[in-house]
Structure 1
Amino acid sequence: MSPKPKTPAESLRLACRANTHTTSTSLLAPTIQANLLVLPTRYAPSFRALCARNPVSCPLLWTTPPGTATTPLAAGADLRTDLPKYNIYVDGVLQSPRGVLDIREEWSGDHVGFLIGCSYSFETALERAGLPPKHTLCVPARTVPMFRTTVPLCPAGVFTGGVMVVSMRAYPAGRVEEVRDITRRFGRQHGEPVAWGWEGAERLGIAEKVRGGKVDFGEWVEVGEGEVPVFWGCGVTPQVAVMESRIEGVVLSHFPGCMFVSDVPAEDEAGLESVIKILDVAEEVCGGGED
């Protein structure tokens, strides 16, 4: 009997592990995708508090025990190898501007991994509604444009001075309400947009960057005639918080656009919630948050 065919999510994770897929994961599997941040254990309480206080930017899906690189969101997956690329920070300074292919050597027994919801999760729903994000239509597909805003995060513990990062997708002005309705139900995956239109860009403090196509992360995709920019919370926000806080030690993360692809269907927020309940166990690790 031949082996059971692997799902798109499993196949993608194995391709990442083999270093044969090293680029964006947008639209490559109809399952929940997640940002990754890996911190020394002493910072875990502060980060859980940061997520609790900034749930749109940092919707927390899972926390690993110290030194453990697995998650019930995908049986058999290894968070150290199963993403296309990673970033490494030392004392808050990025060491890998082009990314690295795995973080097995860097992930120590004193590291705790956090998975945070990602807006890539709802892109399949947008595509099915005839609203595919423009970065997915480029040849080759591009990484979604991301911008560092001037909107401050609510600080927590060692994480002070951080700001919200947003991802941008352009849509015809007359379809923004439809886009909002579709993405609203993905609450653990950044949910509906935080702003839209040029007035929204002004409120976020990024209008000049958007008009000039000057992304902070990802790749530029133009806003066409009759279109307006639409902005969602983005899971790169924690990486900016790490850089702003200059916390000591080795911090690991996903490379922007290169997500962890889970086995949980993107539309299954109820199933996701049942997994998240297991996070009660992680309270022993993180101490329930920090001021």
Structure 2
Amino acid sequence: MQNTETKETSFINNDRGERSGLSEIIQFAKEGKYWIISSTVTCFILGVAIAFLTPPTYEAVASIQMASITSKDVDTPVVVAEKLKLPSYYSEQTFKVCQIAEHPTAGRYLSKELRPTAIKNASIINLRFRGQSPSKAQRCLESVLADIRKDQATLAKPALEIKQAELRALELKLEASEALKAQLPVKNIDFVFDNSKISGSALLLATLITAENDIRNLRSQISDLKIALSEPQTKQASLVAPIYAPNIEAEPQKLLILLASVFAGLVLGILIFATKKSIIANGARLNRTHSTD
């Protein structure tokens, strides 16, 4: 019985404490409503100004596939992503197209804005850029793609020249084999079983068969190498898909700014009024202390 009464008393005390705390909050809000409202309205007006007066920016996104020679990547996406972080990687033309030529650290700024991301298990790198319009952001990424192509073309040149030299050598061998076959007196092969002519005819036939086999093999090798040196096995850096540049503002995010400004106004108003109330209370306490003395 006593335990029950104790629990009821504790519950009543807790309930009274909660009501007291709630009433204090309500009283605080009533007393400071003008400060809170004025602060919220002021911050909201500032938020509206920021949201609607800040020039909008638009984001373009590009997925770029690495250049390749005979199905082998010239450079890896991870390495290219690191290169794109170097300010010296970009051309002056790219700075102009991206409208950052006057920026004091244009290369560093562009390397941060692009946010290069290498796609795992794929020869693809993603780039982003924000410009004053969708078309300007798109042109910037196209110019960056041109820089990537230029760099990878330099890297690919030695390997490409070796493959092209191999192709020329095979073509010369084919010409020589075809010339040899053309010189063989095929029509004069006579299979008369005369001991004096058998060895000559057999040698001529063997030479003809060898030449035809060589020609067939060389043509096959040349065909395979030409296929390997043509797209898609060999190609420059290219877009996986057209650059995505929607006509949607990336910044400023108006709704987020307005909500943040309202929240900041509420917090600021509460802090200002709480500080004011605390100062007044401390002043009154000091006055009472001096009066007592």
TM-score, scaled to structure 1: 0.19
Higher helix share: 2
Q: Which has the higher strand share?
A: 1
